[in-house]
Amino acid sequence: MRHKVIPYQPNLKELARQLRQNSTLSEVLLWNELKNRQLLGLNFDRQKPLNNYIVDFYCKQLMLAIEVDGDSHDYSYTEDKVRQETLEELGVRFLRFDDAAVKQELSNVIRVIEGWVMKHRQLQ
């Protein structure tokens, strides 16, 4: 099955690399659960450029972006909303988690992601 490719601005590639090198603790914790196809065999990318934006985690198989919201976010709520709406128009779906939830309740965050995947995988 072919996946929809969402082009991105080439200048975002270097910024994405810098973001990967300067990940927040919650991003590192969540990445440790998502990498190497550990979550239901799905392949996730970290700090993935899509269109004019970068999302924290992305599974192209499901067109699912996972965002960790917290103090470290460089975006305001309004900018985040515009970014999400723009990407949703391209078919990307979002799950958002609070930075504190990832740090304090990681197992619950993983359960929510797994539940979303199980529900939406069947719809494909």
* Total count of domains within the chain: 1
- pLDDT confidence of residue 50: 96
Residue 117 falls within a domain, yes or no?
yes
- Is 74's pLDDT higher than 90? no
Residue 2 falls within a domain, yes or no?
no
Burial of 98: CB neighbours in 10 Å, binned 0-12, 13-18, 19+: middle
pLDDT tens digit string along 16-33? 999 999 999 999 999 999
Residue 51 falls within a domain, yes or no?
yes
Chain mean pLDDT for the chain: 91
Residue 67 falls within a domain, yes or no?
yes
- pLDDT confidence of residue 68: 94
Residue 41 falls within a domain, yes or no?
yes
- What CATH number is given to the structural domain containing 58? 3.40.960.10
Q: Is there a contact between 73 and 103 (Cβ–Cβ < 8 Å)?
A: no
Residue 5 falls within a domain, yes or no?
no
Dihedral sign (CA 103, 107, 113, 116): negative
- pLDDT confidence of residue 2: 56
Residue 4 falls within a domain, yes or no?
no
What dihedral angle (degrees, nearest 10) is formed by the CA atoms of 97, 76, 5, 15?
-100
Full residue range of the structural domain in which residue 101 is found = 12-121
Which of these, 121, 2, 9, 54, lies nearest to 46 by C-alpha position? Answer: 54
Residue 60 falls within a domain, yes or no?
yes
- pLDDT confidence of residue 58: 97
